[in-house]
Structure 1
Amino acid sequence: MSSEKLPGQGVTRPVAATSRTIRFIMVGGFLGAGKTTTLARLARQYMAAGHTVGIVTNDQATDLVDTNSLRSQGFDVGEVAGACFCCHFNELIATLGQLDDSRAPSIVLAEPVGSCTDLVATVVQPLKQLYSARFSIAPYSVLLKPSHGLKVLRGEGSGFSPKAAYILEKQLEEADAVLINRADELSGEQMQELVSLVQKKVPGTPVLRVSAKTGEGFDGFCEFLEQEGIFGRKVLDIDYDIYAEGEAELGWLNTSLTIRSDQPVALDTFLLGVIEKLKRSLGEKGAETAHLKAIGLWEGFFGVANLTSSDGPAELSLPSRCAVQEAEVVVNARVAIDPEHLQELVISSLQAVADELGVQVTLRQTQSFRPGRPNPTHRLATTV
């Protein structure tokens, strides 16, 4: 693919060799809402229907569990690391170009950072206005995690400050559809309350009930994504000071390490043990978890353990069912706590579980920080 410079924009635009367009499907939602599981299920459904699919993940740092998990499942994945899509828009375009060069996908699925909002003005509209010949933009859907969603929409204490809750509410406001995830885990009464609260918050926005884990509601979700029309036009009235302070409340940590043992050790036991230990340690500090994820990789096998809220269970979401003497492990943590304290707790939890299982831990890289103020490459309030 060749490229050209857009006048006055400082942006490189891919120039299509053919008239083929790529369907761009972005699925947003707060941290731990289930975006990665949703994209994996969507990708499998589209591939079964004969489409070639690419996926783009996004994070404020490198060593992302989601990228490793999706690649281990056999998907073609590009990653935009170091900032959100809106602040690294040019990198997003470059990554889309790389996917196009390697696989020529008919569909690209994009997962933005879970603490980001205002994506219609900073991602959807720039794509529509600058790259309309290259991409066909699907309706923008936002996943809602019931555990935090109910608390925030009821006006109860969610474990996060009102400024962090502000981000979740703004995500709902700009959505073309709100997807209530984990429908299989909710009672009829809980689901009805959540639907009513969402409809009160964002009147007129379609509300779909889905389960990324079981596939419930995904046929209807795919039908919705096929629609053409007036979508991706809800440009927010947003206070970037509140938005930035809400993001900065979260301690952000990505760490990668190698584990070794003289005797085979159950990889899943190590991963789940780390998440459970972290849950207890963070609970003792009163630190609300947005999400914790750990992936272990060994010779084609992989396992994933995660926690999506402080009052939820630690889960082995993708078991490896293998015993290893060596494996690569990546841990991601997004928690309402000082990042230095978060790093101490993660490392101590890793070491405690390693000692219990007779495993040696070698840390390779750790990044812990608070996200900086969002500074979008573009913010287009005039909609297409």
Structure 2
Amino acid sequence: MTHRIRYIMVGGFLGAGKTTTLGRLAAHYREEGFNVGIVTNDQATDLVDTNTLRSQGFDVGEVAGACFCCNFNELIDTMGNLSVEERPDVILAEPVGSCTDLVATVIQPIKQLFDAEFEIAPYPVILKPSHGVRILKNEQGRGFSPKAEYILKKQLEEADVILINRIDELSPEEVDEITSLCKEQFEETPLIRMSAKTGEGFDELVEFLTQQGEFGHKILDIDYDIYADGEAELGWLNSSLTLRSDEEFELDQALLGVVQHLQSQLLNAELEPAHLKVIGLWEGFFGVANLISSQTQAELSLPSKCNVKQAEVIVNARVACDPELLEDFVNESVSAVAKEFNLTAEFRQTQRFRPGRPVPTHRFATPGRE
């Protein structure tokens, strides 16, 4: 019998916790004796997620320059190049957080064109409470326009299971509130309450993903004009730079400082971050700091616990603002931290833009059958 790779794609809006979830899933499957490959995705190169997962020892391929749906052939090629010497049993895929309609443009094309090579697992979509509650409740001052919010709602609509993440950060009442909202608006979709950080609810997710059957079949009725306008509202920035000092400095505090400075600038300008991530790497050490919304605190999500004289740093910022303004904020934040820690900062590359209109390679309006 032909060996088929189990394809598990985990969706969700920017900052939902996809990378942490994939890292935990990859570690689980590896411990179970499976060969695991991971594919990350971004509109540009220099992706913090790719570097984070590689630093944890995983085999990671990156599809850069466009989302999975618009760069489908590269997705297939990238999966084919993973672990060439040892074919993966499981491939975990992390799509761009501002993308939706992935059942019709990614899952169904894989199912119908490459059925002999891949079997499709249930499609989980992670809900980030900090934005999700405000959007599902239709609160005033939610941070994003209705067009950007449209993307998050469509992501949840096509899910086989909704993962309510970060429950370790919520009170029982807040968990009940977001659970109730999801049940009201997506009443036929199963829910799993979990924390990708602590592992709570993770066993339930793993069990759900073992299921076989008619999954990845929710073809959306979607307006691509609204979808495109919603994506285009986000300023997108990836910067790579080197921090140096004659004396050792605390890498974690420098990374957290960059995110905190950015948060302060965005709050003053009344701009909503979809996600900010900063990773610092040096000689086997790495640390990650991030911010997922204006209503949460910047955090050191993966501490390096090391002092260094030099670090390679990557900044990923997704904010509802003009990309040129976002670049100014990032440069000012890096400069402020460099001054505070007596560092020199040398930028190597910066990419900033607004995402273009999605033009999928394939779109299957009718689901294939098992």
Normalising by structure 2, we get a TM-score of 0.98
Q: Name the structure 2 match of 1:327.
A: 311
> Sequence identity, in percent?
67
Q: Distance in 2 between matches of 1:131 and 1:147?
A: 37
Partner amino acid for 2:312? Answer: E
Q: Name the structure 2 match of 1:19.
A: 2
Q: Name the structure 2 match of 1:136.
A: 119
| Count of aligned positions | 367
Residue 71 of structure 2 corresponds to residue 108 of structure 1: no
Listed one character per residue, the Cα deviations across residues 290-322 of structure 1 (whole Å, up to 9, x for unaligned) are: 100000000010000000111101000111111
Q: Distance in 2 between matches of 1:244 and 1:314?
A: 29
Pick from 190, 207, 213 the counterpart of residue 223 of structure 1: 207
Residue 38 of structure 2 corresponds to residue 55 of structure 1: yes
Q: Name the structure 1 match of 2:246.
A: 262
Instruction: Please show how residues 330-345 of structure 1 align to structure 2 within 5 Å.
Output: 330-345=314-329
Instruction: Please show how residues 181-260 of structure 1 align to structure 2 within 5 Å.
Output: 181-260=165-244
3-state SS of 2:134 partner? helix
Residue 78 of structure 2 corresponds to residue 95 of structure 1: yes
3-state SS of 1:103 partner? coil
Q: Distance in 2 between matches of 1:299 and 1:83?
A: 30
3-state SS of 1:255 partner? strand
Give 5+ residue unaligned stretches, structure 2.
Answer: none
3-state SS of 1:129 partner? helix
Shift of 1:185: 1.6
3-state SS of 1:241 partner? helix
Normalising by structure 1, we get a TM-score of 0.95
Q: Distance in 2 between matches of 1:259 and 1:137?
A: 43
Shift of 1:230: 1.1
Q: Name the structure 1 match of 2:268.
A: 284
Q: Name the structure 2 match of 1:42.
A: 25
Q: Name the structure 2 match of 1:168.
A: 152
Partner amino acid for 1:336? Answer: A
Pick from 59, 63, 68 the counterpart of residue 85 of structure 1: 68
Q: Name the structure 2 match of 1:147.
A: 130
Q: Distance in 2 between matches of 1:108 and 1:261?
A: 40
3-state SS of 1:375 partner? coil
Q: Distance in 1 between matches of 2:123 and 2:103?
A: 8
Residue 59 of structure 2 corresponds to residue 76 of structure 1: yes
Partner amino acid for 2:197? Answer: K
Q: Name the structure 2 match of 1:352.
A: 336
Pick from 19, 25, 29 the counterpart of residue 12 of structure 2: 29
Q: Name the structure 1 match of 2:100.
A: 117
Q: Name the structure 2 match of 1:372.
A: 356
Alpha-carbon contact 2:273-2:320 (below 8 Å) kept: yes
Shift of the 103–158 alpha-carbon distance from structure 1 to 2, 3 Å rule, reads farther
Shift of 1:201: 1.2
Shift of 1:104: 1.0
Alpha-carbon contact 2:59-2:83 (below 8 Å) kept: no
Q: Distance in 2 between matches of 1:262 and 1:133?
A: 56
Q: Distance in 2 between matches of 1:175 and 1:365?
A: 36
Partner amino acid for 1:348? Answer: E
Give 5+ residue unaligned stretches, structure 1.
Answer: 1-17
Q: Distance in 1 between matches of 2:248 and 2:169?
A: 35
Shift of 1:100: 4.6
241-250 or 102-111, which deviates more: 102-111
RMSD: 0.8
Shift of 1:103: 3.4
